[in-house]
Amino acid sequence: MRHEPIDKEFFSANRKRLISKLKPNALAVFNSNDVMPTNADGVLGFIQNSDLYYLTGIHQEESMLVLCPGFPDKKYREILFLREPNELLEKWEGHKLTKKEATEISGVATVVWVSGFEKLFHHMMTMGGVEQVYLNTNEHYRSEVVVQSRDARFIEWCKKNYPLHAYNRVAPVMGELRKVKQPREIELMQKACEITECGFRRILKYVRPGVMEYEIEAELVHEFKRLGSKGFAYPPIIAAGVNNVILHYVENSRQCRAGDLILLDVAAEYANYNADMTRTIPVSGRFTARQKEVYNAVLRIKRQAARMLRPGVLYFEFQKEIEKLMEAELLKLKLIDKTDIKNQNPESPALKKYFYHGTSHMLGLDVHDVGNMHAKVAVGSVWTIEPGIYIKEEGFGIRLENNIVIGKSKNFDLMQHIPVEVEEIEEIMNSKKKK
């Protein structure tokens, strides 16, 4: 484990909060994510199911959590199922959690090897008074699932073997719980932002004409991992020149040339919690007058947006207000004119040519975190603020992004110390370069 310990009481409290939202006579099941294959005997790095992690702190494959708060035998009201360690497995893959270690991490007292799941689960489903079964699905509004997940397979298996129980979706409940961050979560996200800041400051000293996008990526991952992160919170976007008008450019293979801007959408994770930062910097260390003009327009919108996203606001109404601000800035920049606005299609307004994405999303254990985007913005939720202007005909785009905690009286910027002003960025880039 690279990160500082998280007290098991945090995970125990999360389970209690979930249980309080379930119907009477309920049972809930959470599965770990699959280990995903590549080719031959290769596999991708394991990423834990974020709901299972939120409830247990366990970061191990083939794990399961069963909650049955009304079960007659108290020791089976919370059960963590784990892959059983053995000498051969340890030789090939390293240490696997013992039952005692799993309890120390999660606070779950009853730990059973996953090989015993079906027998115990059958007993609980048939003898425990269970009527309502909560199963997990990925219901994120941007999800485009193209593989059958472990959860999906389990739903098929469970309904086939226990067809007369009443089934419920646990995803909306988990989304509501995870939407509002607890103080410990804010601390971990702040740490992810601080590590991100260190990486960005390193890059400001490193960038120069002739450097490759992938070399910048290497500098960042070095700094992130050096400071206790597992690495990038998401595939890094390091887009120089014409590449920075592409929202999800991840090839990172171009040479950075004098006069180019580099759009850096890069951030670290810490303890599975994510930061999400975007900055745009000049390869040569100085913005041109036009680049600075557009940059400051984006910065003004970012600052106004961070003040406008407040408790009780509806996100999609907020987005419309940001688009009004953007329209005014684009007029000043002479990218659109009043005739464009007068003749625009309301379904595809003129500003969309230069600003073609949402301004914000929730952030947490997932970069695009779970929660109902149509619900009112809640105190304690964490959001990105990320306006951008992309001018393909001029060969550059600019996006700026910070992470804010929605506060009762005012918002708190987790990235308030990360350089964003033109003058500060230029000053750092033109100070003594790192050898």
- pLDDT exceeding 90 applies to what percent of the chain? 90
Strands 261-265 and 278-282: antiparallel
**Pairing state between β 132-135 and 26-31:** parallel
- Helix ranges restricted to H, 112-168: 117-127, 150-161
The confidence band for 226, taking pLDDT boundaries of 50, 70 and 90, is very high
Burial 365-404 (b: 16+ CB within 10 A, else e): bbbbbbbebeeebbebbbbbbbbbbbbeeeebbbbbbbbb
Task: Say whether both 299 and 389 belong to one domain.
Answer: yes
120 lies in the same domain as 216: no
Q: Are residues 198 and 142 in the same domain?
A: no
| Shared domain check, 348 and 249 | yes
Q: How many domains does the chain have?
A: 2
With respect to residue 434, please indicate whether it lies within any of the assigned structural domains.
no
In a shared domain, residues 166 and 201: no
- Domain range for 100: 8-175
Measure Cα distances from 429 to 208, 282, 395 in Å.
9, 9, 22
- Mean pLDDT score of the chain, rounded to an integer? 96
- Phi first, then psi, for residue 409 (nearest 5°) are -100, -35
Residues 163 and 52 in one domain: yes
- Structural domain contains residue 3: no
**Domain shared by 79 and 197, yes or no:** no
Residue 119's SS3 state is: helix
The pLDDT of residue 428 is 98
Find how far residue 352's CA is from the centre of its chain: 25
Helix and strand tally (H, E) in the chain?
13, 16
Do residues 360 and 249 share a domain?
yes
Residue 104 in any domain: the answer is yes
Instruction: Tell me what the mean pLDDT of segment 386-409 comes to.
Output: 98
Residues 227 and 86 in one domain: no
- Boundary-marking domain end, from 145, 175, 205: 175
Of 22-26, 62-66, 91-95, the least confident: 91-95
Burial 330-350 (b: 16+ CB within 10 A, else e): bbeeebbeeebeeebeeeebb
Element (H, E) at 338: helix 338-342
Within 84-209, strands assigned E span 110-113, 132-135, 166-169
Whole-angstrom distance, CA of residue 426 vs CA of residue 169: 51
144 with 278, same domain? no
The residue out of 175, 191, 210 marking a domain boundary is 175
* Pair (239, 159) in one structural domain: no
Least-confidence region, from 82-91, 242-251, 277-286: 82-91
Instruction: Give Cβ neighbours of residue 35 (< 8 Å, ≥ 6 apart).
Output: 43, 44, 46, 61
Out of 153, 175, 197, a domain closes at 175
The C-alpha angle 419, 423, 427, rounded to 5 degrees, equals 80
State whether residue 389 is helix, strand or coil.
strand
